[in-house]
Amino acid sequence: MLFENRIAQLREDLERHNRLYYQEATPEISDLEYDKLFRELEDLEKAHPNLYDPNSPTQRVGGAPLDAFEQREHLLPMLSIDDLFAKEEVADFHKRLHKSLGEAPIPLTVEPKIDGVACSLVYRNGSLDYAVTRGDGTRGDDITANVRTIRAVPLMLPKDKAPALLEVRGEIFMPSQGFAKLNEQRDEEGLATFANPRNATAGSLKSLDSKKVAERPLSFIAHGLGANEGADLNSEEDFRALLKEFDFPLNLPLWHVDSLDALLDAIRELDTARHELAYGTDGAVVKVVDFAQRETLGFTSRAPRWAAAFKYPPEQKETLLKEITIQVGRTGVLTPVAELAPVFVSGTTVSRATLHNQEEIERKDIRLGDTVVIEKAGEIIPSIVKVVSDKRKPDSTAYHLPTVLNRQCPSCHGPIEQQPGFVAWRCVNFACPAQAVTRITHFAQRKGLDLDGLGDSVSIKLVETGLASSPLELFTLTVDDLANLMLDPAKSSDGLTVSKERRFGEKRAETLLASLKRAKEEMPLHRWLFAMGISQVGESGARELARLHEKLTDLAGSEIISDLADLPDFEELLKSKRKKENHPRLKQFQIDDNLGPVAAQNIRSFFSSEAGQTVLQRLDELGINPKSDNFAPDPSTTEDLPLAGKTFVVTGSLSAPRPEFKKIIESHGGKVSGSISAKTDYLLAGEGGGSKRTKAESLQVPILNEEDLQELLGEA
């Protein structure tokens, strides 16, 4: 098969498997097979850059960060919707419909109002052209790069059936589980948590770095039709049939009603049903089904007359805070949890709520024995809103986590610490059993040592069965140990489908052992350093360490690390940079956010701790001493490269695909951004490139053609 056809086929297949996996939870192929197809496509695309397509499934991981979002005008205004707060208001709305449309029953639908961020998706000839936020209703932010990372958004529609132009509107949101996990993760990292899923969604979409957005668990559900050229649609039913054909996630459950009584029943039923949904909802949207009737009803200046949203009141309840327990997170973070007298709120009985951290407890002045007001953030996650202060007992005292714990981890009784700049208290014992599972999954992840088939569920089982309680114990596992491991039944992401208990099996055992062998023999130092999971040592920090150390054992007692750890004021250092340049050893460091004194302190204390010494000894016994593959103690700076410090935007059609030009610019020290701002140094423009050219002109950004670029590179 011609590679062109093969690429098209792979793109279509991968999108389908994507959907089966993420939306329908009925995958037809294994993760391994999916990865294989994905890599084949990646390789083909690399070999044929002229066939680049921003809507290829390979692009879902995000691209280069933008300087700013461009503004885009909506094809049709994106209106708001009128809110209804009581039964009487629903009756009035219904009466108004009949006043315009006559006596005959009016078919209506009732569906959940999803608590997210509205977005318009514009498809031209079956390909996602752009995505825009609602903005002021007339124009919004172009968030296409971010939206491409959302698995639930189809990037391509079946070409033979797609209309010339189709605008699908809907809600981008964060499912409850993903939201809870994200906040947990932020607690662990000592970052501020999001108040509710909508804030988390809006915050995520505001990021200019689509690679970061790709890591956020965002989803999409379609709920409205915008512009349309070429599809014959006459009712909500027609529209839904089209959405279904094109694999958009539909908004369910759905009620069809044609009387006021039935409408009120549906609104009541949805109030119960919505608590079963995997995401937050805050109302019921009522819509007239027939498009001709919608047209008769028309719009007010801000909202259509053919739709309305009944808002369910957020529920708040008072209850007693009986106790505060401390959870040891999988990375050692200590999270205080409120143990409450059980109360029924928004559909479920609540008896626990996270208190996040000591700072949060102080901010709300929460004390044992207090009466507290609770609600569900985004109708999902129980949280304490405030203390009812006049019900406080006179003898109550402020809560102080480290004092209550006597500065000991409740799991291993090791020391706990609060590092400067972080809100969380953390158990710093590397051998703490509460952290075993995360240590193993972190060790095994793709960015770590990339151990095939070793995810969460397998790690949990390894720890539970006692086969491994730390990463290095993986290296002594046998095929038999692994093959006989019984895994829990798998649950799909929507929690609906459950498979049988599964045996790990010989085949997977052998694959995993092979990747352990590869980790032992081939994985470079920086991957090992990241995999070891020392707090604050990320991928780039690990790479920087590997640039300055030849092999793992060189890090123990390293003077460079010690010097960095002892720097008194990192912020100052970043600001002045002078101290660094005058420092005998530190001047070779590229000190930035990736590797600072806190990371260095953690590395130093790890290697000098008992746990660290045990790790070094075990590595020695196993014959493992990972080597750096980027050892170069003298920093090769990009400072003398011709395009150093210059930011480019590329537009129009050039003699090669844009990614090629991006490579050229970057290899000469420049940066490429997606949109023009005052900070842009040059616009590289081929033929066309209309709106960017106009913008560059208005901002007086110099416009280059390919020859100008060559000249700039000194290659005329």
Instruction: Output the residue with the shortest Cβ distance to ligand IVH.
Output: 118
Catalytic, 393? Answer no
* 304 lies in the binding site for ligand IVH (CB under 6 A): yes
Encoded one letter per residue, x for contact with ligand IVH by CB under 6 A and - for no contact, window 83-112 reads: ----------------------------x-
Of the pair 80, 493, the CB lying nearest ligand IVH is at 80
According to the binding rule CB under 6 A, does residue 114 interact with ligand IVH? yes
Contact between 513 and 482 (Cβ < 8 Å): yes
What's the closest the beta carbon of residue 112 comes to ligand IVH, in angstroms?
6
Q: Which helix (H) or strand (E) holds 321?
A: strand 317-328
376 lies in the site for ligand IVH, by CB under 6 A: no
SS3 sequence, 41-106? HHHHHHHCHHHCCCCCHHHHHCCCCCCCCCEEECCCCCCCCCEECCHHHHHHHHHHHHHHHCCCCC
Would you state the structure tokens that stand for residue 23, as one six-digit string?
């939306």
Q: Which one of 71, 80, 177, 492 is in contact with ligand IVH (CB under 6 A)?
A: 80
Q: What mask, x for binding ligand IVH by CB under 6 A, covers residues 203 to 242?
A: --------------------xx------------------
Q: Does 378 bind ligand IVH (CB under 6 A)?
A: no
DSSP per-residue codes, 609-668: SHHHHHHHHHHHHHT---B-SS--SS---STTSTTTT-EEEEESB-SS-HHHHHHHHHHT
Question: Residues 200, 307, 321, 449: which binds ligand IVH (CB under 6 A)?
Answer: 307
Alpha-carbon distance of 67 to 2, in angstroms, equals 38
Residue 289 binds ligand IVH (CB under 6 A): no
Please count the residues of this chain forming the interface with ligand IVH, following the rule CB under 6 A: 15
State which of positions 420-459 bind ligand IVH (CB under 6 A).
none
Supply the DSSP string of 569-623, one letter for each residue: -HHHHHHH-HHHHHSTTGGG---BTTB-HHHHHHHHHHHHSHHHHHHHHHHHHHT
Residue 582 structure tokens? 């005058």
Bridge partners of residue 323, in order along the sequence: 339
| Nearest-approach distance from CB 601 to ligand IVH, in angstroms | 46
**167 neighbors 120 (Cβ within 8 angstroms):** yes
Give least dist CB 282 to ligand IVH, A.
8
Could you give the C-alpha distances from 305 to 93, 257, 262, 300, in angstroms and in order? 9, 18, 20, 7
Per-residue string for binding with ligand IVH, 250-279, x by CB under 6 A? Answer: -x----------------------------
Whether residue 157 contacts residue 166, with contact meaning beta carbons closer than 8 Å, is answered with yes
Interaction between residue 202 and ligand IVH (CB under 6 A): no
Task: Identify the residue among 155, 285, 288, 451 touching ligand IVH (CB under 6 A).
Answer: 285
DSSP state of 432: -
Catalytic residue among 36, 87, 95, 113: 113
Q: Which of 118, 214, 542, 560 contacts ligand IVH by CB under 6 A?
A: 118
> By CB under 6 A, is residue 79 in contact with ligand IVH?
yes
Q: Are 132 and 77 in contact (CB under 8 A)?
A: no
If the CB atoms of residues 111 and 452 are measured against ligand IVH, the closer one turns out to be 111
Kindly list the catalytic residues.
113
Residues that bind ligand IVH (CB under 6 A): 79-81, 111, 113-114, 118, 134, 171, 223-224, 251, 285, 304, 307
